[in-house]
């Protein structure tokens, strides 16, 4: 039994070290922008359905299965560390090609109302809510990540989906996150 625990500890420590190392390596190079007619002008997320839709006008141009924060079903994000995914209207305000997860688009949470509500409760609002792929080095798990919600409040997709989203979503694209 002691040997099994020792092996398990080594495996866990190795996975942790591998994840930390790959986070430093980064995502690689991002894809080129999609042609204008293939770019989204709105992102809509349906948390309860674990679905994200890119829209151009009123027409959906792409749909993705997503994973959310581990407490996403407990309602909208209220404060830092609650592991909930926000709800409301935001925008993609910057992008990170060298994130710890495969590429990432930053969601403009917290907005002034989010910040005010968190501070009224005596908490920081938090931030760094992103749409991203899998943690760097773990992309081979692909669709397995849909089996559970595993982020700290972000929206996760597969790496190949993230390349598509990165190319189709320019900065300042509005995003609506619905319950």
CA distances (Å), origin 3, targets 7, 10, 15, 154, 158:
6, 11, 18, 37, 36
Query: Helices (H), strands (E): how many in the chain?
Result: 3, 8
- Per cent of the chain over pLDDT 90 is 73
Q: What is the pLDDT of residues 3-61, one digit of tens each?
A: 766 555 554 444 444 445 454 555 668 999 999 999 999 999 999 999 999 999 999 99
Alpha carbons 148 and 163: distance in angstroms, whole number: 22
At 143, list the tokens.
Answer: 């669709």
Q: Hey, what's the torsion of the CAs at 150, 153, 159, 165, to 10 degrees? A: 150
DSSP string, 27-43: --PPPPPPPGGG--SEE
Q: What is the pLDDT of residues 68-122, one digit of tens each?
A: 999 999 999 999 999 999 999 999 999 999 888 999 999 999 999 999 999 999 9
Q: What is the pTM of this model?
A: 0.84
């Amino acid at each position: 039994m002691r040997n099994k625990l020792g092996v398990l500890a080594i495996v866990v420590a190795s996975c942790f070290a591998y994840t930390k190392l790959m986070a430093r390596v980064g995502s690689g190079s991002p894809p080129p922008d999609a042609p204008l007619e293939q770019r989204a002008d709105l992102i809509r997320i349906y948390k309860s359905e674990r679905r994200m839709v890119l829209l151009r006008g009123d027409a959906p141009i792409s749909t993705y299965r997503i994973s959310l924060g581990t407490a996403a079903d407990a309602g909208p994000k209220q404060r830092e560390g609650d592991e909930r995914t926000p709800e409301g209207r935001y925008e993609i305000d910057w992008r990170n090609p060298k994130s710890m997860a495969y590429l990432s688009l930053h969601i403009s949470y917290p907005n002034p109302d989010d910040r005010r509500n968190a501070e009224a409760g005596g908490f920081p609002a938090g931030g760094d809510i992103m749409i991203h792929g899998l943690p760097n080095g773990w992309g081979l798990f692909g669709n397995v990540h849909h089996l559970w919600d595993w982020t700290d409040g972000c929206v996760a997709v597969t790496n190949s989906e993230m390349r598509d989203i990165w190319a189709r979503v320019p900065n300042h694209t509005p995003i609506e996150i619905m319950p």
